[in-house]
Amino acid sequence: MESILDDWQAKVARKQGVVRSKVPQEWRIPESVTSQLQYPLEEHANRLIELDVVRKTGILTDREYNITENYTVAELLESLQSGDLSASEVTLAFSKRASIAGQLTNCLTETYFDEAMERAKALDEMRAQGELAGPLHGLPVSLKDSFRITGSEATIGYVSYLGEKAEKDSPLVEILLEQGAIIFVKTNIPMTLMTADSHNNIFGRTLNPHNTALTAGGSSGGEGALVAFRGSPVGVGTDVAGSIRIPSLCNGTYGFKPTADRVSYGGQAAPVDPGAGGIVAAAGPIANDLEGIQLWTKAVIHAEPARYDSSALDIPWRDIQSKDKMRFGLLEADPRYPLQPPIQRALRETVRLLECQGHEVVTLPATETRLDQAVEIAFAMFGLMSDGGVRIKASGEPPVPSVVAALALLEGLHRDHISDIVTLDGLKKLAALTVKRSAYQDAWRRLWNKYEIDAVIGPAAQHTAVPHDKFQVPAYTTLLNCLDYPACIIPFGKADKTTDNQSFEVGPNQLCAQYEPDLMNGAPCVVQVFTKRMRDEECLAAASVVDACINTDR
């Protein structure tokens, strides 16, 4: 047993040494800054963004700080295409800032700083000759660790995957490169990719830059933390139960989960065997502005992902116009998954602001939306996809706390709506769950017709970011994976312990983290917007309407 233990720890130590060696000495955070923080970082509420630690490090020049801090994605692309900014200076600026984020929040896994600068120089030469590589020319883009890059590892937090080098790029990586993007880092994830805390034994725990005592979310938590820290203009995550949207809500960014396979998902490292079936994950963007989400999505879908990935849908992008006046459905909270005071307030205010602008909002009763049913179906399907811990046991490493907590949580999950099939096994159980899922999707089809709505607004979770390993069942995001609907996260204000001071107790049959007003004070609040399957363009258009109403200062 000791030899196995020594073996996995030795592998991790070697990998961590490689990671540290790729950080240039001049990019190391000085002691004058680290001495102002409270350690261990994950146990104290270090508010890194509020402290403006990036500026205090002195690692970025004023121009580099401005590039990373004050440009939207559209402004970056316009400046790169016009020549006002070079790909080299933009890439260097974001590489420096990403490195700072990695040192403070553990958000990075693989880094490609030298390779990114070489590509940036080549793109600058192309620009000097009057040519552009594509609509994303010169834009630095970060990727979740699961995406494969030739000659690089995609461990997805498993020690047993260390040493496995990718033989070719994931199709989405090919697409992004052909569209002119620059891949410069990959980001941290949870062991198993199935918890809301991006923590594993190789790279450690990703921390929330708004408050390091709160989770950064998962499974694309490294992307959420990096983008919130403004260490990347656009990050790419994946989502099977909320893995783009949970980090977005925890870190206060925009995030978009498309309909499955509208964006290429194939060719990634995975915690399940190929062909496992069930609910299909989606790949999508995380950014600090909604227009950046739209530009990235349009560029990728315009590239015809099906030319690169046989699992991608061959459906062209549609340019549509937002309606002047829309009819929104409001997803009523499910009694089993109650909403904490900051989330209740954000939704009330969203409804008020939409109605002030002449939009209609009608409540979709919880008795009709049946959120708890979607959760039961989805997590039963996830259970069929599980490897039973084989990949963890293969190296001798222990499971991280969030994996242990998640397993315990799921053991206690209600099975009221699937009680008639819990004893089935294998294909029979998958078939029965597929029938139930289809019936649930059909019930929602009838809801759209009954209420004649254009889009739905609702919560993304019962709560804001919570303390590490305390994220509850992600009901309000899993709903959209069960339905395979596109969904967008829009930041809207922050929790306020003075305003959100109502008493909140979790009942015996309810699933929600405890409300801690002092600790959660200042945590980002968000709204989730979704539309019907394949209506990705309409989802982004509806999100634009909501964003314009609630974020007038952006």
Neighbours of 262 (CB within 10 A): 23
The catalytically annotated residue of 88, 152, 220, 243 is 243
Q: How far apart are CA 160 and CA 182, in angstroms?
A: 29
Locus of tokens 């990586």? 173
Task: Give Cα 448 distance to the centre of its chain.
Answer: 27
Q: Is 56 a catalytic residue?
A: no
The catalytically annotated residue of 152, 219, 232, 395 is 219
Judge residue 387's burial from the number of C-beta atoms within 10 Å of its C-beta, 0-12 exposed, 13-18 middle, 19 or more buried: middle
Residue 371 counted as an annotated binding residue? no
Query: Taking Cα atoms as reference points, which of 470, 465, 464, 462 lies closest to residue 402?
Result: 470
Q: What is the DSSP string of 213-251?
A: TBB--SSSHHHHHHHHTTS-SEEEEEESSSTTHHHHHHH
User: Rg of the chain over CA atoms, in angstroms?
Assistant: 22
Helices and strands: H and E segment counts in the chain:
21, 13
Look up residue 328 and give its amino acid.
F
Query: Do residues 215 and 209 lie in contact, with contact meaning Cβ atoms separated by under 8 Å?
Result: no
Locus of tokens 């390091």? 212
Residue 248 counted as an annotated binding residue? no
Residue 430 counted as an annotated binding residue? no
Tokens representing residue 356 in the block: 């002030």
The catalytically annotated residue of 11, 15, 96, 144 is 144
Going by C-beta distance under 8 Å and a sequence separation of 6 or more, which residues neighbour residue 106?
188, 203, 204, 205, 206, 207, 222
Residue 473 counted as an annotated binding residue? no
Partners of residue 494 on adjacent β-strands: 524
Query: Do residues 107 and 81 lie in contact, with contact meaning Cβ atoms separated by under 8 Å?
Result: no
Q: Is 144 a catalytic residue?
A: yes
Partners of residue 182 on adjacent β-strands: 140
Q: How far apart are CA 262 and CA 258, in angstroms?
A: 6
Residue 176 counted as an annotated binding residue? no
Judge residue 425's burial from the number of C-beta atoms within 10 Å of its C-beta, 0-12 exposed, 13-18 middle, 19 or more buried: exposed
Residue 240 counted as an annotated binding residue? yes
Q: Is 386 a catalytic residue?
A: no
Can you say which residues are annotated as belonging to the binding site for substrate? 193, 219, 240-243
Catalytic machinery residues: 144, 219, 243
Can you say which residues are annotated as belonging to the binding site? 193, 219, 240-243
